[in-house]
């Protein structure tokens, strides 16, 4: 899945990379959460969802992309058990605020809320990241769909 | 000496010759032309002619414009400095209006080509010119990466419009009636970049073609992202229900089911996943998804000689490299 005719590089790894990461994360989850507690389904759902996002961020390029980087940071902050992110010596540098020009673009605000790490990017960068994020999300959805289809009772 | 031949220029022509007062090292005379009805083509030709060494000068006169221009332009590589100083003069010298400007482009595709775009305001006759009523300004932007030196061709003449040249600067055209100060042009460049990216997004997001306008497209994109995220949540709910089956399947060393799931997942990967779970995970330590875990997985995969298909080896190598770069960086930062 190459960048195609895009002038911006939005290449995304193949499906099996996502699958690999997701299954690894799931298998790690399995060791932690025993499925003996049906009350905690919400918890499980949350954990699986988080595992999905984290594995997607890993598969999509780790720390090369802004959105994946901020996703992993968020995950590492909230719950240090499942995700261990390497501590960087240097802080992630955010671009200067004045570049973002908040006066002109109230429409991009919603997009910023959706895409992880969107609050710190300028708008053109936001578009790039959104494109890559969408591609990775769709890939992850496909992987999960495959898994569900394979495991659902026939 | 009459440098003009009457058939090439219009009758209502006035010009003034100003010698180079600064007296540069190379003794070239600079001619400033106050053109009234000169076409840009001839003006450029004239200007370039003045840069020429005199023996070639007479040859050029009277021949066809196209060949002349191309030949003459090839000489321009040496005379960049002089032409650059042109621009200074036009602002300093009082007898030259702001409107006298030429645009000179280079034929060669060298990387050190510089396009000197001067301001051209006057309306010219419609015979050869494409660009009329337009102002141009050179904007030096740092948006270009080092590798790509792209820019729009801004030569107004028809001959050179077909040539594709590489520039250092982004040339932005200001249309008639619009402001030409630096800020607004930079704004416009930024907006065009943004619209380009929106177009890329349009290709990715399905159903974006029907809606036009930035706001509509943004809404579509936002809806799409939201729907994708909801799908992820929904599927994770489903998976949480199915999870005992997942464990069951993982414990069984059956690769075929997983292969059915991921059709393009090579068999060895799923096998390896079984190996991962079946092998002794140190459960007390296994609290987090370390990079070291991934590393060990990959090393065991590569070390084993079970792989038969070469495609898997290549694939695993690429995967391993992908993961390895992350792990290497993590190890460096941890130490």
Instruction: Tell me how far apart the alpha carbons of residues B227 and B221 are, in angstroms, rounded to a whole number.
Output: 10
Q: Which of B236, B269, B315 to mutate to test the interface with A (most CBs of A within 10 A)?
A: B236
pTM score, two decimals? 0.49
Domain boundaries of chain A, sorted by first residue = 13-33+40-79+114-153
- Paired with B103 in beta bridges are B117
Q: What is the ipTM of this complex?
A: 0.81
Instruction: Tell me how far apart the alpha carbons of residues A121 and A129 are, in angstroms, rounded to a whole number.
Output: 9
Tokens of A75: 């995950």
A99 touches chain B (CB under 8 A): no
Residue B111 belongs to a domain: no
Q: Which residues, at least 6 apart from B324, have a Cβ–Cβ distance to it below 8 Å?
A: B295, B298
Average pLDDT over residues A24-40: 68
Structural domain span for residue B45: 26-79
The answer to whether B243 and A148 are in contact (CB under 8 A) is: no
pLDDT in tens, B290-335: 443 443 344 343 333 343 334 444 444 444 444 344 433 333 333 2
- Paired with B173 in beta bridges are B136
Residue B187 belongs to a domain: yes
Q: Which residues, at least 6 apart from A42, have a Cβ–Cβ distance to it below 8 Å?
A: none
pLDDT in tens, B126-185: 333 333 334 444 444 344 443 333 434 343 343 443 444 455 666 666 667 667 788 888
Cα Rg of chain A (Å, integer):
17
Instruction: Tell me how far apart the alpha carbons of residues B30 and B41 are, in angstroms, rounded to a whole number.
Output: 18
Q: Could you say which residues from 201 to 230 on chain B have a Cβ atom under 8 Å away from some Cβ of chain A?
A: 201, 203-205, 214-215, 218, 221-222, 224-226, 228-229
Residue B67 belongs to a domain: yes
Q: Which of B147, B170, B183, B197 to mutate to test the interface with A (most CBs of A within 10 A)?
A: B197
B260 touches chain A (CB under 8 A): yes
Tokens of A134: 């969408």
Instruction: Tell me how far apart the alpha carbons of residues B285 and A31 are, in angstroms, rounded to a whole number.
Output: 11
Q: How far is B266 from chain A (nearest CA, A)?
A: 8
The answer to whether A121 and A102 are in contact (CB under 8 A) is: no
Total structural domains in chain B? 2
Cα Rg of chain B (Å, integer):
33
Instruction: Tell me how far apart the alpha carbons of residues B239 and B250 are, in angstroms, rounded to a whole number.
Output: 14
Q: Where residue B208 sits, what CATH number does that domain have? A: 4.10.280
Q: Say if residue A128 is exposed, middle or buried (CB neighbours under 10 Å; 0-12, 13-18, 19+).
A: buried
A107 touches chain B (CB under 8 A): yes
């Amino acid at each position: 899945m190459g960048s195609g005719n895009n002038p911006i590089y939005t290449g995304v790894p193949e499906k099996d990379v996502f699958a690999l990461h997701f299954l690894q994360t799931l298998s790690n989850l399995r060791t932690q959460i025993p499925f003996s507690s049906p009350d905690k389904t919400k918890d499980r759902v949350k954990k699986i969802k988080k595992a999905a996002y984290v594995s997607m961020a890993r598969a999509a390029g780790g720390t090369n992309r802004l959105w994946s980087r901020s996703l992993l940071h968020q995950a590492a902050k909230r719950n240090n058990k499942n995700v261990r992110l390497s501590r960087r010596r240097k802080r992630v540098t955010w671009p200067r605020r004045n570049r973002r020009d908040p006066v002109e673009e109230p429409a991009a605000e919603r997009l910023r809320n959706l895409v992880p790490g969107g609050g710190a990017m300028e708008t053109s960068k936001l578009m790039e990241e959104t494109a890559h994020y969408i591609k990775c999300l769709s890939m992850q959805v496909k992987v999960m769909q495959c898994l569900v289809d394979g495991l659902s009772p026939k | 000496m009459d440098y003009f031949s009457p058939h090439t220029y219009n009758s209502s022509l006035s010009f003034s010759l100003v010698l180079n007062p600064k007296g540069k090292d190379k003794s070239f005379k600079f001619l400033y032309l106050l053109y009234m009805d000169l076409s840009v083509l001839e003006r450029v030709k004239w200007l370039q002619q003045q840069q020429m060494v005199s023996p070639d000068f007479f040859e050029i006169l009277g021949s066809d414009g196209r060949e002349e221009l191309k030949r003459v332009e090839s000489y321009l590589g040496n005379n960049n400095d002089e032409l650059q100083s042109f621009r200074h003069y036009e602002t300093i010298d009082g007898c030259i209006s702001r409107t006298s400007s030429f645009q000179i482009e280079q034929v060669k595709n060298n990387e050190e080509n510089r396009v000197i775009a001067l301001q051209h305001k006057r309306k010219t006759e419609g015979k050869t010119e494409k660009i009329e009523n337009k102002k141009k300004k050179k904007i030096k932007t740092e948006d270009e990466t080092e590798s790509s030196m792209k820019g729009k061709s801004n030569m107004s003449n028809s001959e050179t419009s077909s040539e594709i040249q590489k520039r250092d600067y982004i040339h932005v055209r200001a249309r008639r009636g619009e402001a030409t100060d630096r800020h607004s042009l930079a704004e416009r460049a930024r907006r065009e970049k943004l619209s380009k990216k929106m177009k890329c997004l349009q290709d990715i997001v399905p159903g974006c073609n029907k809606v036009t306008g930035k706001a509509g497209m943004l809404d579509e994109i936002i809806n799409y992202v939201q729907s994708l995220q909801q799908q992820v949540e929904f599927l994770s709910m489903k998976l949480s229900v199915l999870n005992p089956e997942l464990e069951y399947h993982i414990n069984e060393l059956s690769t075929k089911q997983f292969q059915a799931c991921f059709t393009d997942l090579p068999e060895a990967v799923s096998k390896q996943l079984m190996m991962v779970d079946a092998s002794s995970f140190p459960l007390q330590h296994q609290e987090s998804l370390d990079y070291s875990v991934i590393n060990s997985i990959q090393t065991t995969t590569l070390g084993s000689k079970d792989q038969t298909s070469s495609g898997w080896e290549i694939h695993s190598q690429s995967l391993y490299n992908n993961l390895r770069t992350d792990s290497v960086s993590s190890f460096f930062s941890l130490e």
